[in-house]
A and B are shown apart, each in its own frame.
Chain A
Amino acid sequence: MSLILSPNIPDPDGFYETLINAHEGLTKDESDALNARLILILANHIGDRAVLAAALKAAS
C-alpha cells in the first residue's frame, strides 16, 4: 500500500470539528500530549513502515 494523499475521509468538515473539539479546554501542554498520543495510535493502526516514512516526509 502507498500513502493516500487524495481525499479519503467521509464528512471531512464533521471530522475536523470533532478533532478541534477534542482539544477544547486543554492547556497547550495537554493539547501537545493529546496530539502525540493520537499520532502514535494512528501510526500503530497504519503499521506499514514504508507508509509511515512517506507520511513523515509529506509532513516535513
Chain B
Amino acid sequence: MVAQRYRTASTLYPYSRSEDQDGSVQRHPVVVVGGGPVGLGFALDLGQRGTPVLVLDDHEGPGLGSKAICFAKRTLDIAHRLGAGVSMVDKGVVWNVGKVFYRDGKLFEFNLLPEDGHRHPAFINLQQPYFEEYLFAAIKRAKADGAPIEIRGGNRLTGLDAQDDHVRLDIDTPDGPYSIEADWLIACDGVRSPVRDLMGLSFDGRVFEDNFLIADVKMKAPFPTERWFWFEPPFAEAQSALLHKQPDGIWRIDFQLGWDIDREAELDPARIRTRIDAMLSSQTGDVPAYELDWTSIYTFQCRRMSSFRHGPVFFAGDSAHQVSPFGARGANSGIQDAENLAWKLHMVLEGQADQSLLETYSAERGCAADENILNSSRATDFMTPKSDTSKVFRNAVLDLARDHVFARQLVNSGRLSVPCTYDDFPSFGEDTLNGPEQTRPGASCTDAPVDDGFLLDQLNANFVLLSISGDAPEASDLSGNLFKSLHVATPSPELAARYLGDAHQAVYLIRPDQHIVARWSSFDAAAVARALRNALGKD
C-alpha cells in the first residue's frame, strides 16, 4: 500500500497497473524518481529529444499548499522552449511596484520597469501546483507527438541498489511491490530525498534559527497588486512581514516569527487572523473581507550534497540542494539543473558525446547551487541579523534608506534569481570578440528580438552557431557537425546591444541549454570545431 504523505491539488497521473508488475524485472534506460517541477521538467526535455524516460511518483498529482510562487525569467524561457511557457505567463501575475516599510513608516518604493526586447518578464507569481499542471499538460501534448515519456503515479521507491553501471529499484504500489532496473537514475525526489538516504549520502549546511508563518489569503475585495515588505512591523509581533499577489485573488503573506515559538498556538486561525487584520489595515485602517486559504509554518535551511552525481545516479532540484526561499531559488534553480542534464544525457545515450560530458553536470550545477546558497544566506542574514552588531548595521541601512539611494541597494529581502554564468570552466571559451559582459562564454543567452519573434525561440534543440551581421558561414564548413546555423543579417537594436556591443559582427557557439560556449569576431571553422569538442568534454 502507498499511504498519502500529503494532500494533492489535483489528480494528473492516477495509479494504473503496469506490465512491469507482472513478469520479470525490466530494464529502463532512464528512470526519474519524483514528479515535482524538476522531475517533470527533466522528463519533458529528455522525452522531447527522443530518449525514453519513466517517471515514478508516490502521489498522483502536485501537492496542495504554499510552496513556490515566484518563477523567474530563465525558468519561463526554459518552460517556453518545452511548450509550457504560454499557459504559465497567461495565468501568472506580473507585479512591478514594491514598497519597503520599516517599523511604522514607508522607507521607499520601487518600480521594476521591464526591459524591452524580451519575450518574458523578469518573473511571474504563480502557485506551484499550476506550474506542475502546465508542465504535465505539455508532457501530454509531447506524448501525443510521440515523445517516449511515461509517468507512474502511486509508485513509491522503497529500496535501491546502485551498481557501477545500473540501479535496481524496489517500488511499492496499491497492488503491492515490484522491481525494475535503470541504466541511469535521476533523483528528483525533493528535499527529503529517499534516494539520497537509501544511498547513505550526506546533505550538509546551515539551519536558520527562525520560523516563518505562511498564509495564503483569498481577498474578497480589490487590493493593490504590489509587493509590500516590512522590517520590524509595528503590528503582529513579527520581525518581518511580506505580502504579494498570486493568481485567483490570492495573496501570499509571510510573517517571520523568530526561533522560540509555540507552533500549535501560532497556527490557531484566530491568532493568524489577528496578525493579518493588523497587516492589511496598516495602510488604510480598513480590513478587507478575506478567507484563509492555506496556512503553515516553515523553518528554512541552506544545504547541498557535495556531489550531484554518484555513478549512474544524478541528483537534481531540492534533492541536491536546498535554499531558503528568499530570492525564490528552489524551483528556479532545479529547472536549470534539469535542463543542464537533459541534453547531456541524451547526447551520451545517442553516442554523440562521451560519458565525460556527464562530469560537467555536477560541477556546473554545484557552482550554481553555491551562488544560490550565498545569495539566499545573505538575504536571510539581513532579515535575521545573527548578532547585535549585525542588527545595528542592518537598522542603520534601513534608517539611511529612507533618504539615501545608496543604502537602498543594501536592503536585502531576497535577490531575484538569475541564471549562473559558468565562468572559468574548461568547457567554455574562446572569447575573441571583446563583446558585452552579459553574453560572455558561460552565460545563458539573453533574449532579444529577431525577425518577428525572439532569439531564444531559435535556440531550441541542438548546438547553434549564431552569426550576426557579416556573412553566413559556408554550408560546406559546417557539414558533419552537430549544429544548426542561424544567420541574422540585420540585427535588431537590442540584439546588437546585447551580442555585438562595439563590434560590427560576431559568431557565437551556443549549447542546447542556451549557454554560450564561445564567441569570435568572425567565422573560423577550426576554432568552432575546437570549441565544440571542448563543449562536449572531448578534450
Contact = CB atoms under 8 A, between A and B. Distances in A.
Contact of A4 (B375, B382, B406): B406
Interface residues of A, number: 20
Given A13-B378, A17-B378, A20-B381, A28 B389 contact: yes
Interface string B378-407: 100110010111100100010010011110
Residue from A20, A28, A31, A59 having most chain B Cβ neighbours under 10 A: A20
Interface string A1-31: 0001111110011001101100110101001
Q: For this complex, into which size category does the number of interface residues on chain B fall?
A: 20 to 34
A53 interface: no
Contact of A12 (B387, B403, B404, B409): B409
Given A13-B412, A13-B415, A16-B410, A5 B393 contact: no
Contact of A8 (B389, B406, B412): B406
Contacts of A16: 378, 382, 393, 397, 410, 412
B410 A20 contact: no
A7 B378 contact: no
A20 B375 contact: no
Contacts of A58: 400, 403-404
B378 A23 contact: no
A28 B388 CA distance: 8
A26 to B, nearest CB: 7
B406 A20 contact: no
A33 B110 CA distance: 36
Contact of A23 (B389, B397, B404, B406): B389
A22 to B, nearest CB: 9
B405 A23 contact: no
Contacts of A23: 387, 389-390
A8 B408 CA distance: 12
Nearest to B377: A17
B396 to A, nearest CB: 8
Contacts of B400: 58-59
B210 to A, nearest CB: 17
A40 to B, nearest CB: 18
Nearest to A23: B389
A20 B389 CA distance: 8
B389 A6 contact: no
* 6 nearest A-B residue pairs (beta carbon): A31-B389, A23-B389, A5-B404, A12-B409, A7-B409, A20-B390
5 contacts: A6-B405, A7-B406, A9-B406, A12-B410, A13-B410
Given A7-B406, A20-B385, 5 more contacts: A6-B406, A7-B409, A13-B410, A20-B390, A31-B389
